[in-house]
Structure 1
Amino acid sequence: SLLLKAAGLSQYEHLIDDAIAWGKKNGKTQEQQVVAACDKLAVNFGAEILKIVPGRVSTEVDARLSFDKEKSIEKARHLVDLYQQQGVEKSRILIKLASTWEGIRAAEELEKEGINCNLTLLFSFAQARACAEAGVFLISPFVGRIYDWYQARKPMDPYVVEEDPGVKSVRNIYDY
Structure 2
Amino acid sequence: MSTLLTQLRELSTVVADTGDLDAIRRFAPRDATTNPSLILKAAQSGQYDALVDETVAAVQGHEGTLDEAVDEASDRLVVAMGCLILRHVPGRVSTEVNARLSFDKQASITKARKLVSLYQASGVSRERILIKLAATWEGICAARILEREGIQCNLTLIFSFAQARACAEAGVFLISPFVGRILDWYRRANPEIDYVPAQEPGVLQVQEIHRYFRRHNYSTVVMGASFRNSGEILALAGCDRLTISPALLEVLSTTEGVLAHTMFESLERAKPPEPLSENEFRWQHNEDAMATEKLAEGIRGFEADQRKLEALLREKLERGGS
| TM-score range normalised by the length of the shorter chain | over 0.9
CA distance in 2, matches of 1:94, 1:21: 27
Distance in structure 2 (CA, Å) of the matches to 1:106 and 1:156:
41
- Report the Cα offset of residue 27 of structure 1: 4.9
Deviation at 1:25, TM superposition (A): 4.6
Task: Give the deviation of 1:14 after TM superposition.
Answer: 3.2
Bigger Cα displacement from structure 2, 70-79 vs 27-36:
27-36
User: Residue 149 of structure 1: which of 175, 182, 185 is its match?
Assistant: 185
Aligned residue in 1 for 2:72: 36
Which deviates the most, 112-121 or 153-162? 153-162
Q: Work out which of the residue numbers 23, 35, 52 in structure 1 matches 2:59.
A: 23
Equivalence for 1:4: 40
Residue ranges of structure 1 left out of the alignment (5+ in a row): none
Q: Work out the percentage of aligned pairs sharing the same amino acid.
A: 61
Q: How big is the alpha-carbon RMSD for the aligned residues of Structure 1 and Structure 2?
A: 1.6
Do structure 1's residue 74 and structure 2's residue 148 form an aligned pair? Answer: no
**Structure 2: unaligned runs, 5 residues or longer:** 1-36, 213-322
Which structure would you say has the larger RCO, counting Cα contacts within 8 Å and 6 or more residues apart?
2
Matched, 1:127 2:158: no
Q: Specify whether residues 169 and 11 from structure 1 end up closer, same or farther in structure 2 by C-alpha distance, changes over 3 A only.
A: closer
Partner of residue 139, structure 2: 103
Query: 2:190 aligned with 1:161, yes or no?
Result: no
Structure whose alpha-carbon radius of gyration is higher: 2
Q: Which amino acid aligns with 2:132?
A: K
Q: Is the alpha carbon distance of 1:168 and 1:102 closer, same or farther for their aligned partners in structure 2, counting shifts above 3 Å? A: same
Question: Deviation of residue 151 (structure 1)?
Answer: 1.4
Q: Which moved more, 1:138-147 or 1:154-163?
A: 154-163
Partner amino acid for 1:75?
Answer: K
The structure-2 alpha-carbon separation of the partners of 1:11 and 1:98, relative to structure 1 and needing over 3 Å to count, comes to: closer
Contact 1:27 1:36 in 2 (8 A): no
User: Which structure's residues are more often helix, by fraction?
Assistant: 1
Q: What CA distance in whole angstroms lies between the structure 2 residues aligned with 1:152 and 1:2? A: 25
Which residue is 1:54 aligned to? 90
Q: Kindly tell me: are residues 27 and 126 of structure 1, through their superposed partners in 2, closer, same or farther at Cα, counting changes over 3 Å?
A: farther
Asked whether the equivalents of residues 65 and 71 of structure 1 are also in contact (C-alpha less than 8 Å), the reply is yes
Given that residues 125 and 169 in structure 1 are in contact (C-alpha distance below 8 angstroms), is that contact kept between their aligned partners in structure 2? yes
Shift of 1:10: 5.6
Q: TM-score under structure 1 normalisation?
A: 0.93
- Counterparts of 1:31 and 1:120 in 2: how far apart (Å)? 27
Structure 2 counterpart of 1:155, one-letter code:
P
Q: How far 1:15 moved relative to its partner?
A: 1.6
- Deviation per residue, 1:96-152 (Å, 9 max, x gap): 000000000001110111111001111000000000000111101011111111111
1:111/1:135 contact within 8 Å kept: yes
Counterpart pick for 1:64 among 84, 100, 120: 100
> Which segments of structure 1 move beyond 6 Å, counting only runs of 4 or more?
none
Deviating more after overlay: 93-102 vs 16-25 = 16-25
Contact 2:187 / 2:193 at 8 angstroms: preserved in 1?
A: no
Greater shift in the superposed pair: 136-145 or 22-31: 22-31
Q: For residue 137 of structure 2, what is the amino acid of its counterpart?
A: W
Indicate if the aligned counterparts of 2:76 and 2:118 stay in contact, CA closer than 8 A: yes
Tell me the distance in 1 between the aligned counterparts of 2:210 and 2:181.
18
Count of matched residue pairs: 176
> Could you tell me the TM-score, scaled by structure 2's length?
0.52
